[in-house]
A and B are shown apart, each in its own frame.
Chain A
Amino acid sequence: MDPNEVAAEAARISQQAEALAVHTRALAAAGIPLAGHGVEPFVFLFTIFVIAVFVGYYVVWNVTPALHSPLMALTNGISSVIIVGAMLATGLSRSGWATAFGAMAVLLVSVNIFGGFLVTQRMLQMFRKKAK
């Protein structure tokens, strides 16, 4: 390996380590009050999940039936936020396979992001009121 590359890689790893340290410190700080109650992080994620289901439930019941097709196309677009996982896999992984899987997922989901939001926009532009 070229020494410059090694140096760059080292610098990158040290940066990552630093960020990790900051992350760990933040987690530790957050963990102090939580650890006192012995609550797993999963429970917090799950709490937010359950509340989000309720938010979704009430918000979606308010959607007018006339817009149920745009609703499906829009939820299609927003469920593509899974791109976050795909990007992290592509950009942070040290395994060739994981990078490849991540990049494939980025590509697939990008079809959805652009397709989902644009087709929703196209549909919504057609909904017009009576010309008075």
Chain B
Amino acid sequence: MSPSLTAFFYLVSAVLFILALRGLSNPETARRGNALGMAGMLIAVLVTFAHPGMRRDWLILLGIAIGGSIGAFIARRIQMTALPQLVAAFHSLVGLAAVFVAAAALNAPEAFGIGIYGDIRAESLVEMSIGLAIGAITFSGSVIAFAKLQALMSGAPITYPYQHPINAVIGALTVILIIAFVATGGSQPLFWLTAILSFALGFLLIIPIGGADMPVIVSMLNSYSGWAACGIGFTIQNLGLIITGALVGASGAILSYIMCRGMNRSIVNVLLGGFGTEGGAAAAAGAAGERTVKTGNADDAAFILKNASKVIIVPGYGMAVAQAQHAVRELADTLKKQGVEVKYAIHPVAGRMPGHMNVLLAEANVPYDEVFALEEINNEFSTADVAYVIGANDVTNPAAKTDRSSPIYGMPILEVDKAGTVLFVKRSLATGYAGVDNELFYRPNTMMLFGDAKKMTEQIVQALGH
């Protein structure tokens, strides 16, 4: 196949990827979008096989067969609640692959037409080392994110002394090493030293970041995996890779931005880490002692729900942890049968990755046209009789609007306090991730339902039955 024709087919695959993303603008067209994405990938792989002088087809096919079977197996078996860690794991693979391809380009530049071994164009060396560094950071950062999400390590922010100076020094060293790498015309030891330092940087950057900030981090690593692909695309001068990497990079960046906006924090603030560790617990304990809380059981809740005409369900990460999504759907079905209008309200940062709650509700067969985003539904709370808050906390805290000293001040919240009654399913009065007390617990129109989210919801369904 001539190089021009090859380039043309890479363009076709890039266009298919753009159309795939375009398809996600609506659940109706999304499945076709995904199919277009697969077609784009197939074209890219086939065209690469047809590259003049390609050998070792069997080795490549073997790699695809082994990797593909593992991937397909995981995709079928994975629990929907475990999606965030799966996505983090996938990001790490792209990062590591970028490191390997950069290493291959250094050892066999002739394969990509960027020179011969020991004599690679300086420009290609720069691009190679950028691809290498971003790939390595993506890899180690995603491994830590995976470990935190999978609870292999504590989800609490882990801070260490001189955190920021250490990172700054490593970052500066990495830049110096890259310059030296290019100046020496591609020294192997410097290449691997850059890789090691970048691995360390990714590791140290993500360690201090707490579990509930993971939506931002997973999005950011998504973006990095795109930029890494871009860096490799520049190195091997492949337009398909550059375009696709740019699409993914932009996508991840937008998601990070949306998540940050959902918390009213800057990306720098999130990256500095350590959020929610200072003093919050003590303040909460003091406040809880003075005020009274109205508590209820499943029968009380069923009574209130039965007499409502409109109920808005507000799910949070606690619903995912308790695997309560099916019970919630049952509750909604029971209420609908009794003529109650039921809607769902989702905060942008609910869960551990963007759109996490939507997928869980979809898994439980909740129709997507009953599920609404914050700005779509926020002014409906005043017309709702009951807000059923299950596993969410900080995202409903009115302090975000009123208390300037609160760490979550300015964060957009779901205004559940405007509903007639707020039913709060929670295991205890403990503070949420931000470590701030939620004054909603002490309001007269709030009823706390202490217990496991799933069990409590099931009990309410039972109580509604008779």
A residues apposed to B, CB below 8 Å = 12, 15-16, 19, 22-23, 26, 41-42, 45, 48-49, 52-57, 59-95, 97-99, 101-131
Closest-by-CB residue of A relative to B38 is A117
Residues of B within 8 A of A72 (CB): 87, 218-219, 222, 252, 255, 353-355
**Closest chain B CB from A112 CB (angstroms):** 5
Contacts A/B (CB < 8 Å), 29 sampled: A16-B52, A23-B113, A45-B233, A53-B250, A56-B21, A59-B18, A69-B87, A75-B225, A75-B226, A75-B247, A79-B94, A79-B229, A80-B97, A82-B97, A85-B101, A85-B112, A88-B54, A90-B59, A91-B48, A92-B108, A101-B100, A101-B107, A105-B101, A109-B97, A110-B67, A114-B67, A114-B69, A121-B31, A124-B27
The size bracket of the interface on B is 35 or more
Q: Which of B5-53 contact A (CB under 8 A)?
A: 10, 13-14, 17-18, 20-22, 24-27, 30-31, 33-34, 37-38, 40-41, 44-45, 48-49, 51-53
**Residue pair B244, A16 in contact (C-beta under 8 Å):** no
**Residue pair B52, A26 in contact (C-beta under 8 Å):** no
How distant is the Cα of A72 from the Cα of B348 in the complex, in angstroms?
Answer: 15
How distant is the Cα of A118 from the Cα of B72 in the complex, in angstroms?
Answer: 7
**Residue pair A67, B27 in contact (C-beta under 8 Å):** yes
**Residue pair B355, A106 in contact (C-beta under 8 Å):** no
**Closest chain A CB from B228 CB (angstroms):** 8
B238 interfacial by beta-carbon distance below 8 Å: yes
**Residue pair A78, B103 in contact (C-beta under 8 Å):** no
**Residue pair B105, A89 in contact (C-beta under 8 Å):** yes
- Cβ-defined partner of B22 (8 Å) among A41, A59, A103, A128: A59
Closest-by-CB residue of A relative to B13 is A81
Beyond the given A26-B2, A68-B258, A127-B30, please list 17 additional residue pairs across the A-B interface where CB-CB is below 8 A.
Answer: A55-B246, A63-B21, A65-B373, A71-B354, A78-B20, A84-B44, A86-B97, A86-B104, A87-B45, A89-B108, A91-B51, A97-B103, A113-B67, A117-B38, A117-B41, A118-B72, A128-B362
How does the 8 Å CB contact mask read for B221-263 relative to A, with 1 for contact and 0 for none?
0100110111011111111111111111111101100100000
How distant is the Cα of A6 from the Cα of B156 in the complex, in angstroms?
Answer: 62
How distant is the Cα of A103 from the Cα of B127 in the complex, in angstroms?
Answer: 21
Chain B's interface: helix, strand, loop or mixed, by majority? helix
**Residue pair B359, A126 in contact (C-beta under 8 Å):** yes
B residues apposed to A, CB below 8 Å = 2-4, 10, 13-14, 17-18, 20-22, 24-27, 30-31, 33-34, 37-38, 40-41, 44-45, 48-49, 51-57, 59-60, 62-72, 74-76, 78, 80, 83, 86-87, 90-91, 93-94, 96-98, 100-101, 103-108, 110-113, 117, 123, 218-219, 222, 225-226, 228-230, 232-252, 254-255, 258, 346, 348, 353-356, 358-359, 362-363, 365, 367-371, 373
**Residue pair A92, B51 in contact (C-beta under 8 Å):** yes
Do A101 and B101 form a contact, CB below 8 Å, given A70-B30, A81-B44?
yes
Closest-by-CB residue of B relative to A54 is B250
**Closest chain B CB from A104 CB (angstroms):** 5
How distant is the Cα of A114 from the Cα of B73 in the complex, in angstroms?
Answer: 9
**Residue pair A69, B353 in contact (C-beta under 8 Å):** yes
- Cβ-defined partner of B355 (8 Å) among A16, A23, A71: A71
**Residue pair B355, A67 in contact (C-beta under 8 Å):** yes
Residues of B within 8 A of A83 (CB): 44-45, 48, 97
- Cβ-defined partner of A56 (8 Å) among B31, B249, B359: B249
**Closest chain B CB from A113 CB (angstroms):** 6
**Closest chain A CB from B349 CB (angstroms):** 11
Closest-by-CB residue of A relative to B245 is A79
- Cβ-defined partner of A81 (8 Å) among B41, B74, B222: B41
**Residue pair B354, A68 in contact (C-beta under 8 Å):** yes
**Residue pair B255, A88 in contact (C-beta under 8 Å):** no
**Residue pair A62, B22 in contact (C-beta under 8 Å):** yes
How distant is the Cα of A109 from the Cα of B4 in the complex, in angstroms?
Answer: 26
